Chain A
Amino acid sequence: MEIQRLASLAISDSGFIFDPVSGHSYTTNQIGLEIIRLLKEDKDIPEIIEYILDEFDVNRDEFETDLIDFTQNLKSYYLIGD
Chain B
Amino acid sequence: MKIYKNTGNIDTRSGFGAGLAELGKTNPNVVALCADLTGSLKMDEFKDNHPERFFQIGIAEANMICIAAGMTIGGKIPFTGTFANFSTGRVYDQIRQSVAYSGKNVKICASHAGLTLGEDGATHQILEDLGLMKMLPGMTVINTCDYNQTKAATLAIAEYEGPVYLRFGRPKVANFTPEDQKFEIGKAVHLTEGNDVTIIATGHLVWEALEAAKILEEKGISAEVINIHTIKPLDETAILKSIRKTKCVVTAEEHNFLGGLGESVARTLTLNYPAPQEFVATNDTFGESGEPLMLLDKYGLNAKAIIEKAEAVILRK
- Asked whether A and B interact, the reply is no
